[in-house]
């Protein structure tokens, strides 16, 4: 039996990262670009999109950015078409766009907040994956990477909508992995832990959250917050041929938080 050297090379691949203009999404977009992929950013803030597009192009690969709210279903297929016209057929889809509604619990959860969480984290993931997978199936290969969360595993008393949809993302990932494997398409998820992003800034900087931060750092074996680029390595692995026999998994990137 010959040994196949693992390859993390993404040269010639085209990737989409939703919500790719900040935080984990930006880090993943840059990580894919550094591995050679052409990268499209689909996110709501045009100025931020342009800034990341420039960063990607400075690496020496092609980039494209389009202003998109993933909750607007009518815009999803056109956005995918625009990417393919600009960069070529999509090989890698990273469903990263998201937000957290800190409602304080079910008793304080608004219907609008719940609906937005479902539309952003679940509906958009399914719809974009369906569009991408249709194209990928015709070519016999593709990678879909969904962003889950450690709250897909643990309850979140103050963020019930977020925990519910992230749990659903894990199950959707498994279901799509089973369906699409015969077509050469792998579907996996990344479950970030406590990562230092704008979304978690209040927990890091607000004195009112000091006890909470002490608790989470004590529970994290690595004893610190994660950095966005530490999620990028997981995405590059899952997007690459090094992970060619990996599908249906949810990979924690949490410094060991989920071990307890």
The predicted model scores a pTM of: 0.94
Give the residue with greater pLDDT, 254 vs 2: 254
Q: Write out the two tokens for 173.
A: 């990932």
Q: What is the residue whose two structure tokens read 């249906």?
A: 248
DSSP 218-232: HHSTT-S-B-THHHH
* pLDDT at res. 153: 86
Q: Is the pLDDT assigned to residue 110 strictly greater than 90?
A: no
Average pLDDT (87-100) is: 92
| Cβ atoms within 10 Å of 23's Cβ, excluding its own | 20
Nearest-angstrom CA–CA distance, 100 and 260: 24
Band the pLDDT of 227: cuts 50, 70, 90: very high
Average pLDDT (96-109) is: 76
| Cβ atoms within 10 Å of 64's Cβ, excluding its own | 21
Beta bridge partners of 185: 142
Q: Write out the two tokens for 211.
A: 């006890």
Give the residue with greater pLDDT, 186 vs 202: 186
The DSSP bridge pattern shows strands 250-253 and 14-18 to be: unpaired
Characterise 88 by phi-psi region: left (phi > 0), alpha (psi -120 to 50), beta (else). Answer: left
Q: Which residues does the annotation mark as catalytic? A: 162
CA 222 to chain centre: 23
Q: Using one digit for the tens of pLDDT, what is the confidence trace for 164-180?
A: 899 999 999 999 999 99
- Considering the chain, what percentage of its residues have pLDDT values greater than 70? 97
Q: Is the pLDDT assigned to residue 149 strictly greater than 70?
A: yes
Average pLDDT (151-162) is: 81
Q: Write the CB contacts of 30 (distance below 8 Å, at least 6 apart in sequence).
A: 52, 55, 56, 59, 229, 232
* pLDDT at res. 1: 62
Q: Is the pLDDT assigned to residue 101 strictly greater than 90?
A: no
Domains for the chain: give ranges and CATH numbers. Answer: 14-196+226-254 (3.40.50.720)
């Amino acid at each position: 039996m010959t040994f196949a050297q693992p390859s993390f090379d993404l040269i010639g691949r085209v990737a989409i990262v939703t919500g790719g203009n900040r935080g984990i999404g930006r880090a993943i977009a840059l990580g894919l670009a550094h591995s050679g992929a052409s990268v499209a950013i689909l996110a709501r803030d045009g100025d931020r999109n342009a800034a990341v597009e420039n960063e990607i192009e400075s690496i020496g690969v092609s980039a494209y950015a389009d202003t998109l709210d993933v909750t607007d279903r009518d815009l999803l297929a056109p956005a995918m078409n625009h990417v393919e016209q600009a960069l070529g057929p999509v090989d890698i889809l990273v469903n990263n766009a998201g937000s957290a509604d800190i409602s304080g619990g079910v008793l304080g959860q608004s219907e609008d907040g719940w609906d937005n969480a479902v539309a952003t984290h679940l509906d958009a993931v399914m719809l974009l994956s369906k569009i991408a997978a249709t194209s990928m199936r015709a070519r016999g290969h593709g990678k879909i990477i969904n962003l889950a969360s450690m709250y897909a595993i643990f309850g979140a008393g103050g963020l019930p909508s977020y925990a519910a949809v992230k749990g659903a993302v894990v199950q959707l990932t498994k279901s799509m992995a089973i369906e699409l494997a015969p077509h050469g398409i792998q579907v996996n998820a990344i479950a970030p832990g406590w990562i230092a992003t704008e979304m978690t800034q209040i927990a890091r900087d607000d004195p009112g959250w000091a006890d909470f931060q002490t608790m989470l750092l004590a529970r994290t074996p690595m004893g610190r917050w994660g950095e966005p680029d530490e999620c990028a390595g997981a995405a590059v692995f899952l997007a690459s041929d090094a992970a060619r026999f990996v599908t249906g998994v949810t990979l924690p990137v949490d410094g060991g938080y989920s071990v307890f």
